[in-house]
Amino acid sequence: MMRTLVAYFSLLFLCISSSYALKYHAADISSLLVVESQGVSFSDNGKVAPFEDIMKAHGGNTVRIRVWTAGQYNTTYGLKLAKRVKAAGMTLIVDLHLSDTCSGRSGSSSNSFQLADDIVRYTMQIVQQFAAQGTPIDILQIGNEINNGILWPVGEISVNGINPVSQLLNSAVNGAKAAGFSGKTLLHLANGWDWSGLDSFFGGVFIPGALSASEIDLIGVSFYPFYDAGATLSALESSLTNLANTFKKPIVVAETDWPVSCPGVTLTEPSIPVSAAGQTTWIMDIKNILVGLPNGLGQGIFYWEPG
């Protein structure tokens, strides 16, 4: 089976890389090894090539890999994929999901002190393992879409407030530092169009004695056109402008995509066609929003699973 997705994929990166350059022309390609193991290959102008090489050849420069503490996207899998990403000369983002299920915390009565120790050790090990095989992490994403917290029940914001989350994130940063991490840290929230959600999280998470603002280098947001009617481009623009002005951190759209087929679903921007051309329009529109943010704080787009 050969996928000829590359026509639109290359358009995305050509468009992103022309004129004003965002720093991160990225994609989350975590499922690549799984897809390949199912017999899929990729081609560029009829020539079969490794996906990461095609991406690179068309302007991509950064890859995000998700890492679970167990299961299909475990550390071993992430390490393997990271070798290919680095061999292609790209910037490596490791996205730690810190999932309840994966860390075995689901329903456990662990207290936050034990959990803090665990997360320090875990983050330290991850950073060491990627460095030891010659693929050091460039950007460490701590948690994935963490609007509701991390590591429930301790880090469940609606129950315990944001203080435990602030402490746990601080522990993760400390673990990375203890392993000599010198890259950037990234926090990632869902619903980038929803300023009140972003404001409430980032307005609360930086707490003296726990997580300090200086420990976080980048803010990432997801932005999808089909989960919520509020996810319009104009809402994204206003939300990210507020985010830039208030917290003054570099911003990336850390997950997004636009469909080529989406029957029965109302998209938030009905004027954009459901097609490869529509994907280009969507990405260009997001790029323009990022480029327009104050002080050059709009820095990248991570396309979701283009393979």
Ligand X SMILES: *[C@@H]1O[C@H](CO)[C@@H](O)[C@H](O)[C@H]1NC(C)=O
Q: Which residue has the tokens 């029965």?
A: 264
Is 122 a binding residue for ligand X by CB under 6 A? The answer is no
Q: Which residue has the tokens 């994204």?
A: 236
Nearest to ligand X by Cβ — which residue?
74
Least distance from C-beta 92 to ligand X, angstroms?
A: 18
Of residues 213-232, those binding ligand X (CB under 6 A): none
Selected catalytic residue, list 156, 237, 255, 305: 255
Assigned token pair, 278: 């529509």
Selected catalytic residue, list 36, 145, 156, 269: 145
Q: Among 230, 232, 252, 234, which Cα is nearest to 296's?
A: 252
Identify whether 156 is a catalytic site residue: no
Is 76 a binding residue for ligand X by CB under 6 A? The answer is yes
Least distance from C-beta 3 to ligand X, angstroms?
A: 20
One-character DSSP codes across 283-305 = HHHHHHHHHTSGGG-EEEEEEE-
Q: Are 260 and 12 in contact (CB under 8 A)?
A: no
The alpha carbon of residue 51 and the mean position of all alpha carbons in its chain are separated, in whole angstroms, by: 19
Task: Tell the burial category of 208 from Cβ atoms under 10 Å away from its Cβ (0-12, 13-18, 19+).
Answer: exposed
Q: Among 233, 228, 298, which Cα is nearest to 266's?
A: 228
Is 70 a binding residue for ligand X by CB under 6 A? The answer is yes
Out of 4, 18, 41, 72, the residue judged to bind ligand X by CB under 6 A: 72
Least distance from C-beta 69 to ligand X, angstroms?
A: 9
Q: Measured between alpha carbons, how far is residue 205 from residues 41, 62, 115, 198, 211 in Å?
A: 43, 27, 18, 11, 7
Is 125 a binding residue for ligand X by CB under 6 A? The answer is no
Contact region with ligand X (CB under 6 A), list: 71-79, 110-118, 225-233, 248-256: 71-79
Is 77 a binding residue for ligand X by CB under 6 A? The answer is yes
Encoded amino acid at 39, one letter: G
Is the Cα dihedral 5, 8, 13, 14 positive or negative?
positive
Least distance from C-beta 24 to ligand X, angstroms?
A: 26
Contact region with ligand X (CB under 6 A), list: 66-74, 257-265, 286-294, 299-307: 66-74
Least distance from C-beta 101 to ligand X, angstroms?
A: 12
Nearest to ligand X of 68, 193 (CB atom): 68
Exposure of 197 in the CB half-sphere (CA atoms within 13 A): 20
Identify whether 145 is a catalytic site residue: yes
Q: How many residues bind ligand X (CB under 6 A)?
A: 6
Least distance from C-beta 202 to ligand X, angstroms?
A: 33
Is 71 a binding residue for ligand X by CB under 6 A? The answer is yes
Is 74 a binding residue for ligand X by CB under 6 A? The answer is yes
Residue 141's beta-bridge partner residues? 95, 186
Assigned token pair, 70: 């167990």
The DSSP 8-state label assigned to residue 42 in this structure reads E
Task: Tell me, residue by residue from 20 to 59, as one string, x for binding to ligand X by CB under 6 A and - for no binding.
Answer: ----------------------------------------
Residues labelled catalytic: 145, 255
Q: Which residues bind ligand X (CB under 6 A)?
A: 70-72, 74, 76-77
